[in-house]
């Protein structure tokens, strides 16, 4: 594996720095930046690496390979003989020190290696910063333990203090260290044991404390008798017991489902203990009961209104959102009435009431609440969406002059803050202009959209509307890189060079880490292109796509057809084609979803537990193939096959409505059913997408459709229609 990685690294360098015409050495022909000029002049082995340093690079790669195979002594032996390699000095020190940490208990060798780690930390090696930050306190603690075992207690305590100052915390390990101290200094041992009691539960520490020799424990208890104060503990305990008993009574009422008792005791608790010590415990007990009681229609909101009037607004907001998903809108409105009666200036409550009125079809009332946010809460996190919806509802009510003014305000205010949501405002402003028969202004607005946000969802829809061929537009807007005046900081330059050397050494993960700290938004196109190439050769599809996208944004177009295809790769296409054909799903739909879901990272895992290329949930996979093993979902062929089957099921269920299929794939059937009930008959398809309440799902549907447009235009030279 090591030799294969090394070979790939060397192939990369040959490709990136080879001298023949058309090679990557001609990547930036006009670039004047020192690094590129230097790397272009000769192959890297000759220019950056003498024969001796080239052999050192091989040795470094071998040492890291040993380290990854957990042969730490062998890794240290090899890495100790490596002389300096350009830009990899910190990496040599790190892997050498990390090897020592794993196999050695020698205080002197550990201390020497720790000094190397301090040096790496001070140099600020960007790709190693997190690893070094995590390893140093563990290293310091290991030295403290090694010194204590050799009875060098003063030095040991110094290293222990360093580790604790950096956040080191491990009960058993620290107790082992303190146990060594106990034979030397009982006063110090007591203080450290009290610190453990403060940071961990007494039950945990007592179990370990009881393992100390009898004489030591007796002496420590004697010291403790006058060192541990009990002042005011009785009064505090009594207060907490009374509060705790009341919560226990609420819990008992919940268990027997006595709603009247739950309400009575909850009001008593909230009156007596509005800022109680156990507030969270109370809300955890009562909130779930109320929520389930209303959703199951055992009781309605009116029944709990007197109790909810005392409730914390965060839990009221939480209840509103849950009822939005699971209950009738009239019940939601009752809770919001409580919220706004108690907290009239609660911007989130006002915003939720606006969305409720809109979902209930009461647009004039919704406008009133959205306008309240826009006029009264300009700093609110809900201001942006409220301004957009205010404009939207004026458009729906045919007040086109007002909606043009509001969309224009949204666009002007969102120049720097609203990002891609401005595209929707531009598109719908154009729609309103058309309604006022201002056709030239509408077309100019769509042209602005295409120029400012090329290949975004609404830009693609606008091109189609104006009869612009996407495939021809891509070719016409290929923009060769202007690299005549590139600028890059010394730290960024170092990171780029280090990443190149790491790829040569076969450490592609390290190269990705090294580059990930660079802000591509502030780099010139030439350097973004170079970094894209390094990502590509480091086999990191998600980072390659990200960097290619940054370059596209910077150029407002593509540098070449190859650049566009790097942004929209056809990875795993053999499997995609096979299973797409079997399921009747167009293969570019599969690629469009895969790009959005995982960026072609077969090992991707979402926060909700979705796995693999198509981000399948294990339960979804089981519904398709009951005997499937979760771990197999990271297998590309298996993942693609199951996703294709699932998509076919959804297409059948939703009568080939691709928008509904995508919304369901991302948010689930329950959410989609609500949205269809609210908006399905009220709006056309584009308007339906823009009204999806979940920001993630709204953007997801737009992104996948945009990807589908682009794949067809790039690979088939074919323009697809939204219709």
B/e letters for 700-716, b = 16+ CB within 10 Å, e = fewer, are: bbbbbbbbbbbbbbbbe
Here the tokens at position 78 are 């090899």
- Signed CA dihedral, 279, 280, 282, 286: sign only: positive
Q: Are 413 and 386 in contact (CB under 8 A)?
A: no
State yes or no: is 597 an active-site residue. Answer: yes
Q: From the candidates 243, 358, 597, 690, which is the catalytic residue?
A: 597
307: helix, coil or strand? helix
SS3 of 386-455: HHHHHHHHHHHCCCHHHHHHHHHHHHHHCCCCCCCHHHHHHHHHHHHHHHCCCHHHHHHHHHHHHHHCCC
Instruction: Check if the beta carbon of residue 610 is closer than 8 Å to that of residue 616.
Output: yes
First to last CA, the chain: 50
User: Looking at the DSSP assignment, which residues form a beta bridge with residue 616?
Assistant: 611
Rounded CA separation 709/701 (Å): 13
User: Phi first, then psi: what are they for 440, rounded to 5°?
Assistant: -65, -40
| Tokens matching residue 42 | 């000769």
Residue 663 CA to residue 668 CA, distance in Å, equals 7
Q: Give the pair of three-digit tokens for residue 76.
A: 């240290």
Residue with tokens 């697809």: 720
Residue where the block lists tokens 């009691």: 197
Three-state DSSP state, 616: strand
CA distances from 314 to 283, 311, 319, 342, 349 (A): 11, 9, 9, 12, 10
Which residues are annotated as catalytic? 597
């Amino acid at each position: 594996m090591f030799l294969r990685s090394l070979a790939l690294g060397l192939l990369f360098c040959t490709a990136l720095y080879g001298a023949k015409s058309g090679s990557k050495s001609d990547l930036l022909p006009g670039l004047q930046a020192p690094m590129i000029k230097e790397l272009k002049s000769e192959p890297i082995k000759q220019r950056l690496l003498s024969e001796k340093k080239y052999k050192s690079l091989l040795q470094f790669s071998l040492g890291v390979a040993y380290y990854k195979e957990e042969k730490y002594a062998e890794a240290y032996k090899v890495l100790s003989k490596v002389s300096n390699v350009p830009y990899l000095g910190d990496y040599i020190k790190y892997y050498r020190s990390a090897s020592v940490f794993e196999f050695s208990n020698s205080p002197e060798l550990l201390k020497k290696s720790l000094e190397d780690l301090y040096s790496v930390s001070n140099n600020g090696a960007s790709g190693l910063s997190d690893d070094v930050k995590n390893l140093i306190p563990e290293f310091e603690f290991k030295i403290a333990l090694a010194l204590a075992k050799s009875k060098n207690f003063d030095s040991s305590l110094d290293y222990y203090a360093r580790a604790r100052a950096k956040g080191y915390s491990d009960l058993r390990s620290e107790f082992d260290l303190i146990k060594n101290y106990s034979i030397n200094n009982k006063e110090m041992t007591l203080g450290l044991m009290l610190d453990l009691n403060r940071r961990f539960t007494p039950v945990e520490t007592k179990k370990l404390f009881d393992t100390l020799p009898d004489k030591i424990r007796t002496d420590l208890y004697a010291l403790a008798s006058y060192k541990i104060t009990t002042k005011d503990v009785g009064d505090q305990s009594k207060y907490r017991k009374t509060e705790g008993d009341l919560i226990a009574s609420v819990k008992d009422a919940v268990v027997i489902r006595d709603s009247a008792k739950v309400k009575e005791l909850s009001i008593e608790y909230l009156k007596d203990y509005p800022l109680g010590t156990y507030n969270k415990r109370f809300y955890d007990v009562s909130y779930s009961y109320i929520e389930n009681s209303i959703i199951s229609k055992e009781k309605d909101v009116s029944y709990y209104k007197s109790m909810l009037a005392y409730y914390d607004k965060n839990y009221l907001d939480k209840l509103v959102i849950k009822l939005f998903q699971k209950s009738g809108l009239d019940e939601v409105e009752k809770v919001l009435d409580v919220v706004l009666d108690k907290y009239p200036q609660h911007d989130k409550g006002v915003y939720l009431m606006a969305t409720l009125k809109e979902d209930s079809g009461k647009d004039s009332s919704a406008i009133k609440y959205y306008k309240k946010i826009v006029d009264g809460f300009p700093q609110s996190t809900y201001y942006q969406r409220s301004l957009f919806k205010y404009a939207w509802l004026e458009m729906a009510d045919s007040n086109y002059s007002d909606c043009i003014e509001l969309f224009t305000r949204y666009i002007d205010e969102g120049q720097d803050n609203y990002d891609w949501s401005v595209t929707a405002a531009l598109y719908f402003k154009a729609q309103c202009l058309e309604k006022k028969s201002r056709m030239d202004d509408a077309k100019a607005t769509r042209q602005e959209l295409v120029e400012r946000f090329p290949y975004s969802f609404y830009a693609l829809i606008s091109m189609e509307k104006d009869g612009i061929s996407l495939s021809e537009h891509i070719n016409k807007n290929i923009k060769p890189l202007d690299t005549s005046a590139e600028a890059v900081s010394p730290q960024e330059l170092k990171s780029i060079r280090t990443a190149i050397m790491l790829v040569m050494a076969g450490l592609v993960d390290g190269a990705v880490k090294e580059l990930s700290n660079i802000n591509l938004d502030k780099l010139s196109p030439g350097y973004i292109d170079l970094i894209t190439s390094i990502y590509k050769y480091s086999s990191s599809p998600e980072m390659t796509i990200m960097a290619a996208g940054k370059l596209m944004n910077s150029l407002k177009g593509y540098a070449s057809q190859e650049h566009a295809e790097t942004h929209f790769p056809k990875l795993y296409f053999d499997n995609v084609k096979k299973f797409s054909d079997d399921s009747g799903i167009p293969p570019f739909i599969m690629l469009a979803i895969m790009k959005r879901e995982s960026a072609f990272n077969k090992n991707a895992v979402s926060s909700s537990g979705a796995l693999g290329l198509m981000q399948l949930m294990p339960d979804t996979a089981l519904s398709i193939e009951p005997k499937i093993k979760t771990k197999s979902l990271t297998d590309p062929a298996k993942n693609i096959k199951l996703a294709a089957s699932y998509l076919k099921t959804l297409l059948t269920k939703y009568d080939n409505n691709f928008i509904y299929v995508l919304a369901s794939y991302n948010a689930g059937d329950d959410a989609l059913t609500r949205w269809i009930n609210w908006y399905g008959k009220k709006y056309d398809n584009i308007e339906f997408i823009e009204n999806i309440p979940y920001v993630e799902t709204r953007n997801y549907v737009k992104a996948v459709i945009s990807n589908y447009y682009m794949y067809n235009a790039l690979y088939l030279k074919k323009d697809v229609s939204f219709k």
